[in-house]
A and B are shown apart, each in its own frame.
Chain A
Amino acid sequence: MTVDPKSPTTSESQRGSMNDLNLSQLVEGRGDAQAETGNALRADVQNLNFWYGDFQALKGINLPVHDKKVTALIGASGCGKSTLLRCFNRMHDLYRNNRYDGAINLYPEGDNIVGPKTDPMLIRLRVGMVFQKPNPFPKSIYENVAAGLRIRGINKRSVLDDKVEAALTGAALWTEVKDRLGESAYGLSGGQQQRLCIARALAPEPELLLLDEPTSALDPIATAKVEDLIEKLADTITILIVTHNMQQAARISDHVGYMHLGEMVEFDLASRIFVKPQKEQTRAYVTGRFG
């Protein structure tokens, strides 16, 4: 797939007005602020290998995930970025014949997420996720957000009310739904459903939030709302996002990892990846000469 920032051919919705800007303009202003070193790490991938049966999808991945920053994973389709993301909450354990090797340390404790003795369910109680397509449960708006809290043993109405409101506010959805909390989540628009899914993931206050191409099924206006939201969320929460859309990565991320064929080609500050990447391969990809 060819990705040309000037005339995108990706199927993803994009902000029209932004298409004409080049990537270095988009990251402008965030580069210096991020130059500070010594950020605390929320997670750290060390020499991670992953197999779907006999097929090795991830090869010796190393990646730091900085606390309260947005880290974006970019790369062509099939490069393994979603596979890597889904290692962080052990999603691969739901299907057979998948195998991990290496470590993803989750700080501050430093527990190895993919360790053989780690209970995936306990990891998923700490790491939230939002999927490509909105996937609200067949329940009311309120119960969708409350679902993650109830599963953690919180059932007191007053506590739930507060946390549901906080999560919906955090997902910039509260004013739109506050009068129809009891209605089915399926009555919401696609963009609202996706923000509901973000609220659902936020409600239990995860230590790390995974976003798997969260705007790829949304129209440009809904995409803009979700992007604004992500930038705001990064003040309080660590975000790891997979995106097909390079403008999006440039707009919202602090760090970027570029992947190709299961390998991490380059990881750096967004301002460097999009302006002055170290590797020729990365440069070719972000300038759209290579897909």
Chain B
Amino acid sequence: MADQTVATNGALDAGGVRIDPGFLMRRRVKDLLARFILFLSASVSVFVSAAIVYILISESLSFFEVVSIWDFLTDTQWTPLFTDAHYGILPLLSATLIVSGIALLVAVPAGTVLAVYLSEYAPPKLREGLKPVLELLGGVPTVIYGYFALLFVTPMLQTFMPGLNGFNMLAPGLVMGVMILPYVVSVSEDAMRAVPDTLREGAYALGFSRFHTAVRVVIPGALSGITAAYILGMSRAVGETMVVAIAAGQNPNFTLDPTEGAATMTAYIVQVSLGDLPHGSIGYQTIFAVGLTLFLITLLFNIAGFWLRRRFREVY
């Protein structure tokens, strides 16, 4: 670095201006200090993440000293607080997957259609207007979505589905679909817009209509990005807590029927964290085992999603 050479040689004549060696020293100290502070703040976030993973794993290890992994993965009952305790993750897992599945059934078709519209059809002005509105949907606090599912969507569904429980998986699933919609739209629209205009021109030049261009050229070109959008949306739905904790109920229930209530993994963690189980007890440790499972699932989805996303960026 130029200023280092100057500093070691003492004050030098720089273009006719004499530079004070003390000034150069202060400058170097400031530079080192800034570097140190930036490094420190960066390491804090890494340290916190590492600590979370460490605690998740260490608490889960003590849990799995009592409960075998086999029982954890195959037992169909989750009753850790009963005298006849069962520690099967399946009821929580199935509820999580059912609610997320319903959310995807909403978000995938609606999100894809919206993304195609925004990327291929909407005039620029309309697009600039619509995107903030969509982002607003993503900015609504999730607790509001939860109450919306419990107090509005469920009663509304009950008017034509009399058998629907007050707590059920259907309503939070639908609401969660709307919740992850902006995310699915934004990632898949990004992917579609990354398809170069030269491909669109090639399609139009062959006589393609706008619809054919979108369906036969743009979507195949953006496919890995669109898939990434679905997977990242799924990962959000799996990790989502408030909506299900409020509207899907707190009872572990191993069922495939979405009209029944069932606690998801996240809802169970909320329930136990808010309770007064003694620290270090097996009941307390269950939430770490569930948390670790949840963490691994979303990690898997995120890795898959980001890998696909990076891949579509590299195509062109």
A binds B: yes
Interface positions of A (Cβ within 8 A of B): 89, 91, 94, 121, 124-125, 128-129, 131, 133, 135-139, 147-148, 151-152, 186, 197, 200-201, 204
The smallest beta-carbon distance between B75 and chain A, in angstroms, is 46
Instruction: Check A151 against B198 for contact (C-beta < 8 Å).
Output: no
Instruction: Check B217 against A138 for contact (C-beta < 8 Å).
Output: yes
Please tell me if B275 contacts chain A, counting CB pairs below 8 Å. no
Interface set, chain B 20-71, CB cutoff 8 A to A: none
Instruction: Check B205 against A128 for contact (C-beta < 8 Å).
Output: yes
Given that A135-B198, A138-B221, A186-B315 are known contacts, is A91 also in contact with B206, CB under 8 Å in the complex?
no
Instruction: Check B204 against A91 for contact (C-beta < 8 Å).
Output: yes
The smallest beta-carbon distance between B130 and chain A, in angstroms, is 18
Instruction: Check A121 against B315 for contact (C-beta < 8 Å).
Output: no
Q: Give the interface segment out of B149-157, B175-183, B208-216, B238-246.
A: B208-216
Instruction: Check A137 against B201 for contact (C-beta < 8 Å).
Output: no
Interface positions of B (Cβ within 8 A of A): 196, 198-209, 212, 216-217, 220-221, 223, 315
Bound-state Cα–Cα, A133 to B196, Å: 11
The smallest beta-carbon distance between A114 and chain B, in angstroms, is 16
Interface residue from A91, A133, A151 paired with B207 (Cβ < 8 Å):
A151
Residues of A close to B202: CB separation below 8 A:
131, 135-137, 197, 200
Bound-state Cα–Cα, A91 to B199, Å: 13
The smallest beta-carbon distance between B242 and chain A, in angstroms, is 39
Instruction: Check A138 against B315 for contact (C-beta < 8 Å).
Output: yes
Bound-state Cα–Cα, A91 to B208, Å: 12
Instruction: Check B198 against A89 for contact (C-beta < 8 Å).
Output: no
Q: Which residue in chain B gives the minimum CB-CB distance to A125?
A: B207
Given that A137-B217, A138-B220 are known contacts, is A204 also in contact with B204, CB under 8 Å in the complex?
no
Q: Which residue in chain A gives the minimum CB-CB distance to B202?
A: A135
Instruction: Check B206 against A201 for contact (C-beta < 8 Å).
Output: yes
Q: Which residue in chain A gives the minimum CB-CB distance to B124?
A: A96
Given that A137-B199, A151-B212, A186-B315 are known contacts, is A128 also in contact with B217, CB under 8 Å in the complex?
no
Instruction: Check B203 against A152 for contact (C-beta < 8 Å).
Output: no
The smallest beta-carbon distance between B25 and chain A, in angstroms, is 50
Residues of B close to A128: CB separation below 8 A:
205-206
The smallest beta-carbon distance between A74 and chain B, in angstroms, is 22
Residues of A close to B203: CB separation below 8 A:
137, 147
Instruction: Check A137 against B204 for contact (C-beta < 8 Å).
Output: no
